[in-house]
């Protein structure tokens, strides 16, 4: 197997998690072009892939007429492969199969959020044990196959995006665990020579390709699990490509999924028993435990509620609940694996609140129906803590780089959550003199990774 590389900006001595990753001497990078470069953005919610051939512009792979591949797996309970073992669908095919079967199976979402998690290494699905690396590869393999049908052989080399800090990573060893697992999954998909690059820097390469003048740029990349930032100076196009002087990068392990979790907590969980009470075997009235609802707020943990021991506890609480119908509804969502349907309703509400001042949240899975009104001010109050953490991250980045807000001339915001008005307000308020650029919210990183490949 060919050697694998992990290339990233050098860390200053004593740099701790959550602090800026700054080169000792700012690095000047150039987007060199090889015969064929492949950039892969494996995302928490959506993934994308771009190819750059010599002398051409990056080309984005298309998946069912979309530039993104949904990072989702569905195991049909009645569909089994050789030896009657579970066989999954991925991406749009997984969603179609889920809808066709009425959710009769197992849905796996947000696998990227597990990469740094030392407590999760494998899971049993209908009698077969799958490691996390295998599950990720089951998304990457059909992505690669579809891209090769369009572009031909993609080869063994790939540049892959990584967040500044992986979701759930508390220590350096957690970050290394995430990279090791991702490398293994990539090798399973045929990529044996791997270069990792920070996602916000890749987004900067995408932006810089059209830069007409030198400028100090702040990039914000908002994914499903992480929000990442890069501060850099973009020099005008010289020779064949722009040059980038990277001043630093930072990130926090929260983004779109965390915003979704707040909607679940305030609009969904109360209808499923959060805030209600149960009567213990000794006759004492107690508040419903919040542990189960915390898992409900994180899509990638929802399926873990289906474990036999957890289901036994939920059923016991149902018999003791003062509002048993709510617990029955909760149990049904878990047992029938309605995560994707619930996720869709939450996502629609979030998008609606980004476009207008109020919306009606609706989740229907007969006979269960949850309908709640929500306003943008309420939503912004729910995500205020996350927004503060993002602001603090930006402040750390600026302070460590020794740059004042008024020096920043341009902002490039990308990723789905960059469209949330509360997020855009953070930047427009702090960088009043800077011009905000956006676009290609779900594919700019993949394009930039292809350009960044060497």
Tell me what pLDDT residue 372 has.
95
Q: What angle do CA 160, 165, 168 make, to 5 degrees?
A: 110
Judging by DSSP bridges, how do beta strands 215-222 and 410-414 pair with one another? parallel
Q: How far is CA 425 from CA 204, 391, 431, in A?
A: 21, 11, 10
- What mean pLDDT is reported for the chain? 87
Measured between alpha carbons, how far is residue 412 from residues 199, 405, 440 in Å? 13, 15, 11
Please give the Cα distance from 204 to 232 (Å, whole number): 8
pLDDT tens per residue across span 156-199: 999 999 999 999 899 999 999 999 999 999 999 999 999 999 99
Q: Are strands 36-41 and 59-60 parallel, antiparallel or unpaired?
A: unpaired
Write down the pTM of the prediction.
Answer: 0.84
Contact 5, 183 (CB under 8 A): no
Nearest to residue 46, comparing CAs of 430, 414, 386? 414
- In tens digits, the chain (454 residues) has pLDDT values of 333 333 333 332 222 233 333 332 233 334 443 478 999 999 999 999 999 998 788 999 999 889 999 999 999 988 776 666 677 999 999 999 988 988 888 889 899 999 999 998 999 888 889 999 999 999 999 999 999 999 999 999 999 999 999 998 999 999 999 999 999 999 999 999 999 999 999 998 888 877 778 899 999 999 888 999 999 998 866 544 567 889 999 999 888 999 999 999 999 999 999 999 999 999 999 999 999 999 999 877 777 788 889 999 999 999 999 999 999 999 999 988 888 889 899 999 999 999 999 999 999 988 889 999 999 999 999 999 999 999 999 999 999 999 999 999 999 999 888 999 999 999 999 999 999 998 777 899 999 999 987 5
- H or E element that contains 310: helix 308-320
Q: Which of 75, 74, 70, 47 is nearest to 60 (CA)?
A: 47
Rounded CA gap, 387 and 366, in Å?
36
Q: How far apart are CA 372 and CA 362, in angstroms?
A: 7
Cα radius of gyration (the chain): 23
Q: What are phi and psi of 256, to 5 degrees?
A: -60, -40
Q: Where are the alpha helices (DSSP H) in 156-279?
A: 172-188, 199-208, 256-263
Q: How many CB atoms lie within 10 A of CB 389?
A: 15
In this structure, the dihedral spanned by the alpha carbons of residues 428, 47, 338 and 290, taken in order and rounded to 10 degrees, is: -50
| pLDDT tens track for 321-371 | 999 999 999 999 998 888 888 989 999 999 999 999 999 999 998 888 999
| Helix intervals (H) in 61-198 | 92-101, 132-151, 172-188
Closest CA to 63 of 160, 139, 156, 155: 139
Burial class (CB in 10 A: 0-12, 13-18, 19+), 266: middle
Measuring CA to CA, which residue among 279, 384, 372, 360 is closest to residue 322?
279
Helix (H, G, I), strand (E, B) or coil at 160: strand
Kind and range of the H or E run holding 195: strand 193-198
Predicted pLDDT at 366: 83
> Would you say 312 and 331 are in contact if contact means Cβ atoms under 8 Å apart?
no
State the Cα–Cα distance between residues 297 and 261, nearest whole angstrom: 4
Q: Report the relative pairing of strands 241-252 and 27-30 from DSSP bridges.
A: antiparallel
């Amino acid at each position: 197997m060919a050697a694998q590389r992990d290339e990233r900006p050098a860390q200053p001595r004593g740099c701790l998690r959550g602090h800026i990753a700054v080169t000792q001497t700012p690095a000047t990078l150039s987007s060199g072009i090889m015969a064929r470069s492949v950039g892969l953005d494996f995302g928490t919610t959506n993934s994308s892939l771009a190819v750059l051939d010599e002398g051409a512009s990056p080309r984005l792979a298309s998946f069912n007429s979309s530039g993104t591949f949904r990072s989702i797996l569905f195991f049909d309970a009645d569909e089994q492969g050789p030896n009657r073992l579970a066989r999954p669908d991925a991406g749009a095919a997984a969603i179609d199969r889920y809808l066709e079967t009425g959710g009769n199976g197992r849905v796996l979402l947000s696998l990227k959020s597990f990469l740094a998690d030392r407590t999760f290494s494998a899971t049993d699905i209908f009698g077969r044990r799958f490691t996390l690396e295998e599950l990720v590869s089951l998304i990457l393999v059909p992505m690669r196959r579809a891209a090769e049908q369009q572009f031909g052989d993609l080869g063994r080399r790939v540049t892959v995006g990584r967040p500044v800090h992986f979701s759930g990573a508390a220590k350096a060893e957690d970050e290394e665990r995430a990279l090791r697992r991702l490398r293994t999954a990539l090798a399973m998909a045929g990529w044996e020579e791997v270069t990792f690059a920070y996602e916000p820097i890749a987004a900067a390469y995408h932006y810089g390709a059209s830069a007409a003048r030198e400028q100090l740029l702040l990039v914000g990349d908002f994914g499903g699990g992480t929000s990442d930032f890069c501060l850099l100076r973009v020099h005008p196009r010289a020779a064949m490509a722009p040059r980038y002087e990277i001043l630093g990068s930072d990130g926090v392990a929260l983004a779109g999924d965390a915003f979704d979790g707040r909607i679940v907590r305030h609009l969904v969980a109360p209808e499923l028993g959060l805030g209600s009470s149960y009567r213990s075997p000794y006759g004492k009235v107690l508040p419903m435990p919040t542990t189960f609802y915390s898992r409900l707020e994180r899509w990638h943990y929802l399926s873990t509620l289906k474990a036999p021991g957890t289901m036994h506890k939920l059923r016991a609480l149902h018999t003791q609940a003062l509002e048993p119908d709510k617990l029955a509804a909760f149990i049904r969502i878990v047992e029938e694996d309605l995560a994707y349907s619930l996720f869709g309703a939450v996502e629609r509400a979030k998008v609606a609140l980004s476009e207008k001042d109020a919306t009606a949240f609706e989740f229907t899975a007969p006979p269960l129906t949850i309908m709640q009104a929500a306003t943008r001010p309420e939503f912004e109050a729910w995500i205020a803590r996350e927004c503060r953490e993002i602001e603090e991250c930006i402040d750390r980045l600026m302070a460590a780089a020794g740059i004042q807000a008024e020096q920043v001339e341009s902002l490039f915001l990308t990723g789905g959550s960059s469209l949330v008005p509360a997020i855009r307000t953070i930047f427009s308020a702090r960088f009043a003199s800077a011009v905000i650029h956006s676009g290609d919210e779900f594919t700019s990183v993949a394009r930039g990774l292809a350009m960044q490949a060497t």
